[in-house]
């Protein structure tokens, strides 16, 4: 990223030459003073406006630089500010040290956010409904469009800055450990093995999470376009102990349904439909809840959620707006393959 730095004493002509050497997605220069502190940002649009305003190609870059630039400060990782910058079309966002020098430059086209979350992916199931495909291959490693199902989720987590990722395994655990012997999406994924079935949440107790903070827990065999960023912001704004990702689920009754009051019929509805929200298998939990799970005991996520509700805790929900497929059957697997083929074709075009 050093090619994105330019001295405040440089000319606009020198800046144009430097911009011309940059890759297309990173057309921004950070203007530095003699102490390496950022005093402004510069794009080709800034230069064009300066020239139209009377500057020459020999003018200094400070004559054209934007001094009111967006930046993160210190150890700050403000999710909402990063989202705002992304929506404004900002591609490169600097995080500054207290003295104004650059600690790092975040490429928002690659890292969309920096969510302060750990992640635990559950990958211990046998995938029996997908046999014979899962007789010798664990379901999370089944390939869809040339990529393991679980890797789609690792990539999505990495894109929002979640790099503390643990996968809990049991069935064919050695294959999953071998798969993650190399980084995926730049992330060194850790594997933890259950020595007995621990349900859909019990294995989170094995991870060794910090007492403070929050963790995203999800099934590893999902394909989804969920916005982890929006889910996190909803969790934070609602001050929840748990947030559950949900999907709309509609039940249609093929008969006329009566409404009763004792022995009297008070109404009749012809073939009514009822709308509900169904659990999508993606959660954000306060770490203290996961660390409080009993050791060596089977616990399902729904058990923990019911306990927290009964104790007066706050459980929120987040409706998934995009795609969600639980790859649990041959039909689901075929649908997921078609979906990803269509998605990849769109990206190639």
Give pTM, 2 decimals.
0.84
Which residues does 277 contact at the CB level (< 8 Å), separation at least 6?
Answer: 246, 247, 248, 249, 317, 319
For residue 166, the model assigns a pLDDT of: 96
For residue 130, the model assigns a pLDDT of: 77
For residue 35, the model assigns a pLDDT of: 92
Cβ–Cβ under 8 Å, residues 101 and 71:
no
pLDDT tens string 326-348: 887 888 888 888 877 777 665 65
For residue 340, the model assigns a pLDDT of: 77
Domain map (residue ranges) of the chain:
2-107, 117-348
For residue 37, the model assigns a pLDDT of: 94
CATH superfamily membership of 2-107:
CBS-domain (3.10.580.10)
For residue 267, the model assigns a pLDDT of: 92
For residue 196, the model assigns a pLDDT of: 86
- Averages of pLDDT over runs of 10 residues in the chain (349 residues) are 85 92 82 93 92 93 92 78 89 90 89 92 84 85 89 94 94 92 93 89 90 94 92 95 94 91 91 91 96 90 95 96 84 80 65
For residue 120, the model assigns a pLDDT of: 96
192-197, long-range: CB < 8 A, 24+ apart: 192/166, 192/167, 192/168, 193/168, 193/169, 194/124, 194/168, 194/169, 194/170, 196/296, 196/298, 197/124, 197/170, 197/298
For residue 77, the model assigns a pLDDT of: 65
pLDDT tens string 198-219: 888 999 998 989 989 999 999 9
Convert 213-238 to b/e letters by CB count within 10 Å (16 or more is b): ebbbbbbbbbbbebbbbebbbbbbee
Architecture of the domain spanning 117-348:
Alpha-Beta Complex (3.90)
For residue 75, the model assigns a pLDDT of: 61
For residue 339, the model assigns a pLDDT of: 78
């Amino acid at each position: 990223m050093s090619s994105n730095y330019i001295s405040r004493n440089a000319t606009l002509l020198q800046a144009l030459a430097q911009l011309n050497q940059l890759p297309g997605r990173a057309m921004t220069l950070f203007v530095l003073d003699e102490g390496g502190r950022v005093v402004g940002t510069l794009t080709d649009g800034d230069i064009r406006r300066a020239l139209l305003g009377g500057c020459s190609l020999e003018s200094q870059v400070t004559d054209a630089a934007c001094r009111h630039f967006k930046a993160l400060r210190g150890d700050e990782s403000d999710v909402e500010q990063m989202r705002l910058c992304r929506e404004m079309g900002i591609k490169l966002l600097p995080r500054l040290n207290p003295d104004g020098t650059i600690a790092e430059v975040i490429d928002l086209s690659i890292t969309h956010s920096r969510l302060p979350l750990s992640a635990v992916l559950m990958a211990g199931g046998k995938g029996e409904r997908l046999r014979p495909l899962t007789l010798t291959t664990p379901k999370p490693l089944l390939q869809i469009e040339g990529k393991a199902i679980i890797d789609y989720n690792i990539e999505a987590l990495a894109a929002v800055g979640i790099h503390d990722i643990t996968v809990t395994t049991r069935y064919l655990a050695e294959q999953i450990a071998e798969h993650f012997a190399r980084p995926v999406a730049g992330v060194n994924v850790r594997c933890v093995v259950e020595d007995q079935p621990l349900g859909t949440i019990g294995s989170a107790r094995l991870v060794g999470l910090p007492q403070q903070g929050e963790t995203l827990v999800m099934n590893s065999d999902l394909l989804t376009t969920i916005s982890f960023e929006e889910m996190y912001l909803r969790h934070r704004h609602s001050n929840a102990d748990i947030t559950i990702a949900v999907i709309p689920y509609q039940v249609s009754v093929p008969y006329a349904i009566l409404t009763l009051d004792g022995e009297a019929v008070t109404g009749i509805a012809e073939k009514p439909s009822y709308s509900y929200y169904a659990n999508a298998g993606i959660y954000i939990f306060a770490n203290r809840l996961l660390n409080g799970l009993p050791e060596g005991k089977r616990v399902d996520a729904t058990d923990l959620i019911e306990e927290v509700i009964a104790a007066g805790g706050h459980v929120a929900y987040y409706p998934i707006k995009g795609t969600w497929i639980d790859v649990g059957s041959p039909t689901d697997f075929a649908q997921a393959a078609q979906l990803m083929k269509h998605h990849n074709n769109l990206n190639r075009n």
